Amino acid sequence: MSEAVTMGAEETKMVDDGKASTDERIRKEARLKSLFARPELGAISGTILVFVFFIIVASDTGMFSAKGVINWMEVSAQLGIIAIGACLLMIAGEFDLSIGSMIGFAGMVIAIPTTHWGWPIWVSILMAFAFAMLVGYINGLIVIKTGLPSFIVTLAFLYILRGLTIGLSRLLTNRTLVGGVKKTAAGDWLAPVFGGEIGKPIFVWLASMEIIDTLPNGEPAVTGIPMVIVWWLILAFLASWLLLKTRFGNWIFASGGDALAARNVGVPVNRVKILLFMGTAACATIFAACQVIDFGSADSQRGLLKEFEAIIAAVIGGALLTGGYGSVIGACFGALIFGVVQMGIFYTGVNTDWFRVFLGIMLLIAVIFNNYIRKIVTGGR
Amino acid sequence: MSPKTPMIEIENVSKFFGSVIALSKVSMAVHAGEVMCLLGDNGSGKSTLIKTLSGVHQPDEGTVKFEGRDVLFDSPRDALDMGIATVFQDLAMVPLMSITRNFFMGREPIKGSGPLQRFDMTMANATAKSEMKKIGIDVRDPSQAVGTLSGGERQCVAIARAVYFGAKVLILDEPTSALGVSQASMVLKYIAQARARNLAVIFITHNVHHAFPVGDRFTILNRGQSYGTFSKNDVSREDVLGMMAGGKELQELEKELEEFSRTDAVNAVNA
């Protein structure tokens, strides 16, 4: 995907170098460079390429029917939610490898109390958020206090949380899959915020106008927008606003760009990082809450490898592994590429094994591309 | 505060790191509108001294006075809040962030209130642009990354930032050491401007040629001890260089000194 983009950027650079003889023109070059240095560029062009590709090969498969769109949007949204958290944290210069395990853990914290101890589900959802943010706080605190790479600290929590999830659910319920959440979620005030749909009248109307398909029983093929998509869009907006338009956003860039320089001018780097660790944990819990209520069950294996997918989406979105640079919008497009390709492979009937090959290659291209962009941004110095 | 009270003053400051005596009873006073050059070879204690002044280290002995009052800084932020701004050699700027974002890093102007409170980017961009213009750097687009600026321009942004935020004391840690001739002179020019704005400037360097054109007084450190403070009128380049080297490698030094006296003589004749 990014190949074409990379080539384009190189061409521009060459043209610029050719005329960079006076001061006036050096400024011009910098402006052109800054255009090319938009972090989202790679992900957006990649998204366009992926869409063009699947519109050509899969337009007759139902992938772009209302149902199909909701399908890949849902997959993208799930990943997008954690990619947003991972992206902000990466820009601040840290990783969280415990996101996937946190999804499984939070799912169980929601499911077990409500199905086995008769708690209202809203209480267990709130408790899951409290637990998750506590773990995020501990993650952050250990990283800050020890100065160890967050890669190692959160890798430890990847195992600790997964182990706790399996161990505790066996201990408390004698199984690793807890079902029956649909029943306890019924009538709850908070559950529909995560597991429901919105906009049903619109879809009924669209079906009556024959804009979208209708099922044989007269119901529209799509009865609403799943809440997970709504969460994704809201989080994308809020996180992007936070990053680009607020003081805290500037602190995120500064913490990841150069923590020492940031501290020297009084940026509360530790607080920023700890809050963002709590943020990724909260994002993982939103993911888990949507999934548990949607599926009606929690599985201790849920969220496996999701931490890496989230990081991949953020990297495709232009975030640098070394921090200080990246974009929430880019990460969302990274997640969209993910969802479209994953479901597109399903729709076109290609063996899904190829999905991971594609992912790996795309990650590699994105990293090489980003590295190149960073050199442009820092003027090769 | 009487006009004669130094802006910042240290008395008999010592700093130990384990068995190492990094600073031993160093005293120094800097007044407003004065450039104090802190000179010394590597390992002379320059860095320790400025880290003590900027709140990174706390002195083990002696006192630090700011505007005549005893002060003790717990952190760089403490010192910064009082108006002591330090521009560290490599750590002043985040290259990946824009000029504006760097300029206002940690002190972002805000507009709106409550949950809608946000970084006033329009005002910030305009301010960064005009402040840079004041020091003679025309930034057409203040949202361009600092990484695209030259080393000298970056130092100037850092200094402009400190001045804009009302620093009374400006500590510059080897701002010119990594720079070429023309870029170094850009920074030196701006140091002179800061003095004209009545700041107390402490300029750390081991380059006498950078120190002499802008310095009013010189404090020379050698192996953690001060040789004292000298007015520009009282010392020559040669004296300063000799004290910095502390009698080491004298043969090599003498050659250098001869060269200086020769060029100075030539200059005097030409003048």
Number of A/B CB contacts below 8 angstroms equals: 103
- For the stretch A160-183, pLDDT in tens is 999 999 999 999 999 999 998 988
**Least CB–CB distance from B147: residue in A31, A260, A378:** A378
Question: Which residues of chain A neighbour B55 with C-beta distances below 8 Å?
Answer: none
Of B137, B208, B136, B145, the closest CA to residue B176 belongs to B208
B-chain residue closest to A261, CA distance: B91
Q: Which two tokens stand for residue A198?
A: 């919105």
Question: Which residues of chain B neighbour A33 with C-beta distances below 8 Å?
Answer: 148
Question: Which residues of chain B neighbour A377 with C-beta distances below 8 Å?
Answer: 95-96, 145, 147-148
pLDDT at A19: 35
A362 against B249, higher pLDDT: A362
Query: Mean pLDDT across the stretch A25-31?
Result: 50
pLDDT at B160: 85
CA-based angle A280:A282:A285, to the nearest 5?
Answer: 115
**Partners of residue B85 on adjacent β-strands:** B170
Residue intervals of chain B classified under CATH 3.40.50.300 are 8-95+161-235
A304 against B206, higher pLDDT: A304
CB contact under 8 A, B96 and A267: no
Three-state SS for chain A is CHHHHHHHHHHHHHHHHHHCCCHHHHHHHHHHHHHHCCCCHHHHHHHHHHHHHHHHHHCCCCCCCHHHHHHHHHHHHHHHHHHHHHHHHHHCCCCCCCHHHHHHHHHHHHHHHHHHCCCCHHHHHHHHHHHHHHHHHHHHHHHHHHCCCHHHHHHHHHHHHHHHHHHHHHHHHCCCEECCHHHHHCCCCCHHHHHCEECHHHHHHHHHCCCCCECCCCCECCCCEEHHHHHHHHHHHHHHHHHHHCHHHHHHHHHHHCHHHHHHCCCCHHHHHHHHHHHHHHHHHHHHHHHHHHHCCEECCCCCCHHHHHHHHHHHCCCCCCCCCCCHHHHHHHHHHHHHHHHHHHHHCCCCHHHHHHHHHHHHHHHHHHHHHHHHHCCCC
Q: Which two tokens stand for residue A46?
A: 């990649």
Percent of chain A with pLDDT over 70: 89
Confidence of residue A32 (pLDDT cuts 50, 70, 90): low
pLDDT at A37: 62
Amino acid identity at A161: L
**Least CB–CB distance from A379: residue in B93, B119, B148:** B148
pLDDT tens string, chain B, 271 residues long: the values are 455 788 888 888 888 888 888 888 888 889 999 999 988 877 788 888 888 888 888 889 888 888 888 888 887 778 888 888 888 766 668 888 999 999 998 888 989 888 888 999 999 999 998 888 877 777 778 888 888 887 778 888 888 888 888 888 989 888 887 777 777 888 888 888 888 888 899 998 878 888 888 889 988 888 888 888 888 878 777 777 777 766 555 556 667 777 788 888 787 777 6
- For the stretch A218-251, pLDDT in tens is 778 888 899 999 999 999 999 999 999 999 999 9
A257/chain B closest Cα distance in angstroms = 6
pLDDT at A302: 93
Look up residue B199 and give its DSSP letter: -
pLDDT at A328: 96
Query: Mean pLDDT across the stretch A85-89?
Result: 97
pLDDT at A94: 96
Residue with tokens 């910095």: B244
Q: Residues B47, B205: contact at Cβ < 8 Å?
A: no
**Partners of residue B231 on adjacent β-strands:** B217
Of A94, A114, A112, the closest CA to residue A157 belongs to A94
Size of chain B, expressed as the number of residues it contains: 271
Query: Mean pLDDT across the stretch A83-105?
Result: 96
CB contact under 8 A, B105 and A246: no
- Top-tier CATH class for B8-95+161-235: alpha beta
Architecture of domain A61-371: Orthogonal Bundle (1.10)
Could you tell me the strand order of the sheet in which B8-17 lies? B20-30, B8-17, B61-66, B69-71
* Residue A356 burial (10 A CB sphere; 0-12, 13-18, 19+): exposed
Size of chain A, expressed as the number of residues it contains: 381
- For the stretch A95-125, pLDDT in tens is 999 999 999 999 999 999 999 999 999 999 9
> Per-residue pLDDT for A373 more than 80?
no
> Per-residue pLDDT for A58 more than 90?
no
pLDDT at A119: 92
Query: Mean pLDDT across the stretch A348-366?
Result: 84
Confidence of residue A146 (pLDDT cuts 50, 70, 90): very high
Q: Judging by DSSP bridges, how do beta strands B34-40 and B84-87 pair with one another?
A: unpaired
Question: Which residues of chain A neighbour B77 with C-beta distances below 8 Å?
Answer: 266
A-chain residue closest to B84, CA distance: A265
Provide the 3-class DSSP secondary structure of residue B75.
Answer: coil
**Partners of residue B220 on adjacent β-strands:** B39
pLDDT at A108: 96
* pTM passes above 0.90: no
- For the stretch B115-141, pLDDT in tens is 888 999 999 999 998 888 877 777 778
**Least CB–CB distance from A377: residue in B107, B119, B147:** B147
- For the stretch B176-187, pLDDT in tens is 877 777 778 888
Question: Which residues of chain B neighbour A22 with C-beta distances below 8 Å?
Answer: none
pLDDT at A199: 87
The H or E element spanning position B87 is strand B84-87
pLDDT at A15: 36
CB contact under 8 A, B95 and A264: no
Q: Judging by DSSP bridges, how do beta strands B217-222 and B34-40 pair with one another?
A: parallel
Least confident of A1-5, A322-326, A364-368, B240-244: A1-5
CB contact under 8 A, B96 and A377: yes
Residues 222-241 of A with CB under 8 A from B: 241
